[in-house]
Structure 1
Amino acid sequence: MFRKKFLYVFVIFTLLFIPFNNVLATTAYGIVDVNTSGSSSLYNMTAIDGVLYFEARNSAYGKELWKYDGTTTTLVADINVGVGDAFTDWSANTYTKYGDSIYFHADDGLLGYEFWKTDGTTTTLVADINTGVGGSLPLFMTVLDDKLYFYANDGSLGYELWSYNGTTTTLVADINTGVGSGSPSYLINFNDVLYFQANDGINGVELWSYNGTTTTLVADINADAGSSSPSNFVILNDTLYFSANDGINGVELWSYNGITTTLVDDIYEGSTGSGIYNIKVISNAIYFQANDGVHGRELWSYDGITSTLVADINPSGDSWVSVLGSDSAENVIYLQASDGGSFGTELWSYDGDLLKMIVDINVGPGSSYPDRLYSIEDTIYFQASDGTVGSEVWALVSSPILTGWTISTTTLRLDWNDVKYASEYTVSTTLGTLTTTNDNYYIDSGLTPNTQYSWQINTVDLD
């Protein structure tokens, strides 16, 4: 079926005298619909080597691993053969490249959630760490030196730190000795050392490290048995930043320089805490959601010196903003947010000056909840739901851009760039004519000199 996308290029001129005015717009196309008969419940979309991998449900295969290469959508593997699901609807899966393969967890219907890999063509069980149907649920996979590290549960020692060297899986450390779980989570490689949150059963959930030989409690930020629960780890300018609660200031922004942990800023003064969340590095700053007690949960930034409220998107409450990512040049930041008005939680952009909602994907007060945004070859991809077919893969598309024009006494030719995912174009004029074309140009003849005309070029995509 055809679905028009109203991307506007306005051309207003008096023939032979008035120049062109090119007004640009941006919208989004739903480009992948794995389950045409209902919602595919697409989740955990990840870009690796220019290919999008994601979990999605199809009526023939259940919820399995798929990929999209910019042209074609392909089932990577039917891991749980038949209509069974290899993934849950809200799994916290992590897809990580190690060597020539991508590693993740999946359930084949026999062994529970175990350690798997794929090279995009062949998909294989790496190890049944928790023997039998229990499943080890490996998560937070991160590469350090020549090994892949993750947390997993072998059924005896709880969730602990494991490694894989390309051949063998090995228990690295039993941080919470015995059957208790150390739960080493949110692993990040900082200066060739792994950092993560973990619980040794004594100091609560705190900041730990592993240098390839030894696991160490880095800092007991919330003293004694209290938990600081460090998370949202990012690296900027040779410093590790994260959210943590010291038991005095609430959840705030912290840093670690390899020697000392430091409270960066007490944005919401007192014990309440700003609830720092969703920290992302873009260009030379970090962006995050925080509440200063005045503006609600809004967009903030930190440049290594100062914390700043970037925008109060919802002046009457919380925007619940989440930083999704940026374009490849890091000139535009993309956000998930709600302004509390006529629209729900939709896709927004911020270029350092202008903050705007880009497109209302779930039209009206409904929310599309855009997430998992990636820039691949100058195209922005993300997952979102239009409220009809559930969460799917979407792409941002700019309006046609005029690349040239030719004018004679009574004839005008307009040329524009090729718009990705547009199957054809419509051209309407003030003469009341509407033309559909597959070409990237339009010729209008029989015009009257010294007369004002306008042309509007729209794109149409084919679903």
Structure 2
Amino acid sequence: MALIAASLLALGAAPAIGEAPYLVKDINSLPSSSFTPGEFTVVGNLVLFRGCDRTHGCELWRTDGTAAGTVMVKDINPGSGSSLCDVRWCQFRTFANVNGTLFFAASDGTQAGLWESDGTAAGTVMVKNINTQWLPHGLGEAGSDPSYLTNLNGTLLFAADDGSGYELWRSDGTSSGTVVVSDGRLEPALLTNVDGTLFFSTYSGLWKSDGTAAGTVLVKDLCSYPCYASPQYLTNVNGTLFFAATDGTSGRELWKSDGTEAGTVMVKDINPGPNGSLGAYGFEPQYFANVNGSLHFVASDGTHGRELWKSDGTEAGTVMVKDINPGPAPSSAADLTNVNGELLFSADDGASGRELWKSDGTEAGTALVRDIRSGAASSFPSGLASANGALLFWTADLASGVVLWKSDGTVAGTSILRQPDAATTTTGSYPAGFTSMGGSSFFAAADGTHGRELWKSDGSAAGTVMVKDIRLGPTDSLGYDVAFTNVNGTLFFVASDEAHGAELWKSDGTEAGTLMVRDINPGAIGSSPDHLANVNATLLFTADDGAHGRELWRSDGTEAGTVMVKDINPASSSFSGYSADFMNVNGTLFFRADDGTHGRELWRSDGTEMGTVMVKDIAPGSASSVSDFGCPLSTFADVNGALFFVAGEATHGA
């Protein structure tokens, strides 16, 4: 049960001193949602996947399709700590089958890197620890975060960070054979194998690679700054690559490529104008699927909502399959998955809630498979994946928590594969980030039906309510490390919705008054604002707009008034690592930054470009007075209006 009383003691309705703390409201009364599977990958006769339970955290599991055969492979990070990222925030492909071996990203609690498994505990071992740089204060290794793992002609290709930024890597399954392919600060994403050629996305355009440095080249620069093409949903259909992108004139629409610049063209401008038909709905969720040589995808033509479409690669052959939720309301079809030549996906028809659907590519053959939670309530099928001729997915059910299912596309063939252990207790809502504003306490919490969202409380059960479901359904809009900042009665915070990555939001405590301030880095990547601080009634923070790197920004709560203060390091990011050194001292913001010339040093700002200057080059020249990795714990302290901080130079050290 989630006790939030201790954090509400400052409110008028809280217990008097000496009274025992009491539960204000049990926000999440679901049974423990501890089993959240994902990354289903077929290896031989088994399906290997990420599973999470209360005892072991998120670890590598396997299933043969039976309840008895669904077991953990190895507790890589012993105890309740996780070796794999939880499905709630793990959005990028981290599993791949290469020549009958599973490659995946994991951490044993000491080292984080690329691992492999044959489905047995003994055969589950680390391939290479790619990033051996250490965080300070005993916090462990920085980690390389291998992602978008892809089998290219029997060789593993993936993106990883060795401490110098995300690059394209390859591996033959040995430590010495795990090497960087191209060191060009490309930040590759969405690696996709199209008949032996690897395609991937960058901010500006589409690239391809044969696994060598010389063979890694730009296919087409779709648009230039301030436009971000960021191709998404890369999908192979009979040797043609389909993807979503914008050219700066049309919005995000359907494109295709044969691997040449001339052959990379828009298929159809489904929703003419700057809005586009495909929106900016993130990198990895399955909104594109190849079914029997036809591309199925989700789009809005401006008249209908986001519905199921298909394309044969021609303008005339790109049509809506069915208006599942009739009229302008969207069915928001998602997780499109090909199972034995039939499309299975989740959708909301406006009457049955979000449930499991199927389609044969015709209007008549597009229908609800099973109303798992009857009536208008939703079961929220998630993590859909094809495995050995069946669909695997999980649902969030009020009675059973998170449940693993399998389906053959029929009502009778849609059944529970694994439920949470009977001994699990009720999960908590994990409230966090408590901030007082206008007589209420605002915080982040999950009620078991919605994801982690913005809530407020006046100290009573009736007055403890969700402010807004920013990201619809069970997906979180707020992170577990969320921080709220009150600036003159406006609450600022960082959130993501279905159309945007992590961006700056604000709230006045009402649903209507809770909205995104500015889409600083347009699209699904987001600018990931951080270090929000109230300085003289102005919000100062760091953000990455995708062009200047992470720099200092300010906001007055309006889109026009949300601007970069100064491009401190024109060549790169001036802020790096995990530093929490960002402090208001008597109306002046002090922080650490690297201008590209002096290393990481102490700076100050009054919120203007002219007033943002380095205080002193403590370690002269390009050396830094603190570690480039920074520290997740602040080394700043305000003592009676004076800033005390930790620094080092050649003579004295830190």
TM-score (norm 1): 0.66
Please say if 1:180 is aligned against 2:235: no
153, 156, 161: which one pairs with 2:206? 161
State the partner residue of 1:70.
Answer: 119
Cα distance in 2, alignment partners of residues 144 and 356 from structure 1: 34
State the partner residue of 1:325.
Answer: 385
More strand by share: 1
Shift of 1:38: 4.0
Structure 2, unpaired ranges of 5+: 1-65, 86-93, 134-139, 280-285, 429-447, 449-654
Cα distance in 2, alignment partners of residues 359 and 144 from structure 1: 35
349, 358, 367: which one pairs with 2:417? 358
State the partner residue of 2:326.
Answer: 269
State the partner residue of 2:238.
Answer: 191
Q: Which amino acid aligns with 1:194?
A: L
- Conserved 8 A contact 1:344-1:366: no
Spell out the pairing of 1:199-210 with structure 2 (5 A cutoff): 199-210=246-257
Cα distance in 2, alignment partners of residues 301 and 347 from structure 1: 19
RMSD: 2.3
Shift of 1:227: 1.7
Please say if 1:312 is aligned against 2:371: yes
- Conserved 8 A contact 1:27-1:358: no
2:397 is paired with a residue of what secondary structure? coil
Q: State, as a whole percentage, how many aligned pairs show the same letter.
A: 35
Higher relative contact order (CA 8 A, sep 6+): 1
Distance 1:302-1:275 versus aligned 2 partners, 3 A rule:
same
- Conserved 8 A contact 1:288-1:322: no
Cα distance in 1, alignment partners of residues 358 and 296 from structure 2: 12
- Conserved 8 A contact 1:208-1:218: yes
Spell out the pairing of 1:281-300 with structure 2 (5 A cutoff): 281-300=338-357
Distance 1:206-1:221 versus aligned 2 partners, 3 A rule:
same
Cα distance in 2, alignment partners of residues 100 and 27 from structure 1: 29
State the partner residue of 1:339.
Answer: 397
State the partner residue of 2:471.
Answer: none
State the partner residue of 1:244.
Answer: 299
Cα distance in 2, alignment partners of residues 25 and 186 from structure 1: 33
Q: Which amino acid aligns with 2:312?
A: N
Q: Which amino acid aligns with 1:171?
A: L
Q: Which amino acid aligns with 1:334?
A: L
Cα distance in 1, alignment partners of residues 131 and 251 from structure 2: 37
Shift of 1:55: 1.4
Spell out the pairing of 1:218-257 with structure 2 (5 A cutoff): 218-229=267-278, 232-257=287-312
Q: Which amino acid aligns with 2:357?
A: W
Cα distance in 1, alignment partners of residues 270 and 299 from structure 2: 8
Distance 1:35-1:245 versus aligned 2 partners, 3 A rule:
same
Shift of 1:300: 0.4
Shift of 1:37: 4.1
Cα distance in 1, alignment partners of residues 358 and 386 from structure 2: 14
Q: Which amino acid aligns with 2:230?
A: S
State the partner residue of 1:58.
Answer: 108
Distance 1:27-1:357 versus aligned 2 partners, 3 A rule:
farther
Cα distance in 1, alignment partners of residues 197 and 372 from structure 2: 43
TM-score (norm 2): 0.47
Distance 1:55-1:361 versus aligned 2 partners, 3 A rule:
farther
Shift of 1:338: 2.6
74, 82, 91: which one pairs with 1:32? 74
| Number of equivalenced pairs | 327
Please say if 1:45 is aligned against 2:87: no
